[in-house]
Amino acid sequence: MEQLTVVKIGGNVIDNSENLHRFLLDFQALPGKKILVHGGGKIATELGTSLGVEAKMVDGRRITDVETLRVVTMVYAGLINKNMVAQLQARGCNAIGLTGADGNIIKAVKRPVKTIDYGFVGDLDENAVAAGTLGSLLQAGLVPVLCAITHNGEGQLLNTNADTIASSVAVAMSSVYQTSLVYCFEKKGVLRDVENEDSLVKEIRASEFEMLQKQGVVSGGMIPKLHNAFEAIKNGLAAVYIGKADELPRISEQDFGTRLTA
Amino acid sequence: MEQLTVVKIGGNVIDNSENLHRFLLDFQALPGKKILVHGGGKIATELGTSLGVEAKMVDGRRITDVETLRVVTMVYAGLINKNMVAQLQARGCNAIGLTGADGNIIKAVKRPVKTIDYGFVGDLDENAVAAGTLGSLLQAGLVPVLCAITHNGEGQLLNTNADTIASSVAVAMSSVYQTSLVYCFEKKGVLRDVENEDSLVKEIRASEFEMLQKQGVVSGGMIPKLHNAFEAIKNGLAAVYIGKADELPRISEQDFGTRLTA
């Protein structure tokens, strides 16, 4: 099977133009088929503030009212996505910037209101990703750059977690490609001692995950991240990597951050 | 040759959600391959005003400074484009929203500074459109929705006239498809008496264009529009139509607005 790398970046790369520039150079140099997934970052919050749209957070999650949806659509799908595409094109990488609405590649379900009304937020089920359409773009030599906006198939755009998009896309493509998923974040990977970048845990097997939680090595926001990663592996991914964006070139030697395997 | 219809809409359709809704219904119902090209409209000006970015116009042309480029990228490529795509998807039309940077489909040249510095505005030459990439999207069953943003291939996005994009795309595709170009604007077409919608000129041949200018039937902003249209016909288009968006369904009987032919 041909190889496919799905790389997800977040605010720590996007918010700093020098980091982003360097990352895009490394991304375009990755061998084989690839897909980039990006979140938002500070720019959306800043634009919202300029427009008098306050960021509403509950339990660390953004509440997406109609005004916030306008802002994230403009910033994620417009400003950030198109500038990244233009920069990749300048380096000879034939990028194509997409939301989930484009080509109906990711169809989400508006999150049901339980205790919290998240507003226009989309959740993905196992049939969310149109692997065939994404596959035909890849086969045409295009490099999809996906932002964190999807749709419900009934005309409504939905704000959707970029980590979830990345893992859903990777899992969906794993039936056709040998797919690796790479999460770039601010640390070198999972650290035994969060203050010490030299304490990197190089590999975690699914069977070790529970123990590492008990030991406190994996805690806080890393727990759902790793939980989702192991779910994705169970569903067919070759491997999931979590590490620092500026070490991306090491992925070709499979020596990037923390490697999660079955 | 298979038929392709390239339809261009402007602010008068985009600015009114009812008009836009109705137009998108008519557009998705068009038979054969199709491409939609859209301009901006008032939303960009309004967002600019909210952000303290004043619209700068010289001779009816928008000057695109770096702040204005940010605004139009957010509004054209983000807000307008993605909402149109989501609405088309809801009607079963497999739309894919793109700028010229995406898939490198339209590469422009930043307009040289002569008497006026237009800023980040792109002009198109005869090799601007990547007909092969657009063709492979059409063959994959996708319906490209192009906004008025291109790039220079060196990482710079450029604000580009949507009429020009529409005609350049139509001409480029005319080597592979029997291509018609449809400009939707606020009038029924070219009118003998601009105050009287019943005075529609149903057809204009290239040889009649000069005479109609002398008679004053074609004047003002219609002159460059028709000039570009006849250039496009000379370069291979089957026909160019100019008419009112709400009469679009009549295009299948070739009875829409004013028909320009060789």
- pLDDT, tens only, A5-32: 999 999 889 999 999 999 999 999 999 9
Query: Structural domain of residue A164, as residue ranges?
Result: 3-261
Number of folded domains that form chain B = 1
% of chain A with per-residue pLDDT over 90: 80
Task: Look at B133 and A151 and tell me if their CB atoms are within 8 Å.
Answer: no
Burial (Cβ within 10 Å: 0-12, 13-18, ≥19) of residue B176:
middle
A193: burial class by Cβ within 10 Å (0-12, 13-18, 19+)?
exposed
Decide if pLDDT at B76 tops 80. yes
Mean of per-residue pLDDT scores for chain B? 94
For residues A53 and B25, what is the distance between their CA atoms, to the nearest angstrom?
Answer: 32
pLDDT digits (tens, 9 = 90+) for A55-91: 788 877 678 999 999 999 999 999 999 999 999 999 9
Q: Which CATH number characterizes residue B162's domain?
A: 3.40.1160.10
Q: What secondary structure letter does DSSP report for A74?
A: I
d(CA B247, CA B225): 19
Task: Judge contact between A75 and A65, C-beta under 8 A.
Answer: no
Window 114-133 of B: residues touching A by CB (8 A cutoff) are 133
Phi, psi values for residue A7, rounded to 5°: -115, 130
pLDDT range class, residue B204, cuts 50, 70, 90: very high
Q: Which pLDDT belongs to residue B219?
A: 86
DSSP structural state of residue B75: I
Tokens of A133: 């359409």
The region that residue A104 occupies, defined by phi over 0 for left and psi between -120 and 50 for alpha, beta otherwise, is: left
Average pLDDT in the B169-188 region? 95
Chain A interface disruption, residue of B22, B25, B28, B79, most A CBs within 10 A: B79
The size of the A-B interface in CB pairs under 8 A is 126
Give the tens place of pLDDT for each residue, B124-164.
Answer: 999 999 999 999 999 999 999 999 999 999 999 999 999 99
Of B192, B210, B193, the C-alpha closest to B201 is B192
3-state helix vs strand vs coil in chain A, percent to 5? 40, 25, 35
- Name the band, by pLDDT with cuts 50, 70 and 90, for residue B78: very high
Would the annotation count B41 as a binding residue?
Answer: yes
Given strand B258-261, what is the order of strands in its sheet? Answer: B95-98, B143-147, B33-38, B3-9, B178-185, B239-244, B258-261, B203-205
Within the 174-193 window of chain B, which residues sit less than 8 Å (CB to CB) from chain A? Answer: none
**A238 has a pLDDT exceeding 90:** no
pLDDT score of B61 more than 80: no
**With 80 as the cut, is the pLDDT of residue A231 above it?**
yes
The percent of residues above 70 in pLDDT, for chain A, comes to 99
pLDDT score, position A132: 96
Q: What b-and-e string marks burial along A77-86, b requiring 16 or more CB atoms within 10 Å of the CB?
A: bbbbbbbbbb
CA nearest to A153 within chain B: B90
Per-residue pLDDT tens digits for B18-41: 999 999 999 999 999 999 999 887
How confident is the model over B220-262, as pLDDT tens digits?
888 988 998 999 999 999 899 999 999 999 998 889 999 999 9
Rounded Cα distance, A37 and A144, in Å: 8
Say how far residue B14 (Cα) sits from the centre of its chain: 12
CA B219 distance to own-chain centroid? 20
State chain A's mean pLDDT as an integer. Answer: 94
CB A65 within 8 A of CB B75: no
The distance from CA B141 to its chain's CA centroid, rounded to whole angstroms, is 21
Does the pLDDT of residue A177 top 90, yes or no? yes
Q: At what angle do helices B81-90 and B17-29 cross, to 10 degrees?
A: 50
Residues in chain A: 262
What are the pLDDT digits (tens) for A78-126?
A: 999 999 999 999 999 999 999 999 999 999 999 999 988 999 999 999 9
Check if B204 contacts A (Cβ < 8 Å).
no
**Residue among A91, A79, A76, A75 at smallest CA distance from A23:** A91
Rounded distance between C-alpha atoms, residue A4 and residue A177, angstroms: 6
The pLDDT tens digits of the residues spanning A143-172 come to 999 999 999 999 999 999 999 999 999 999
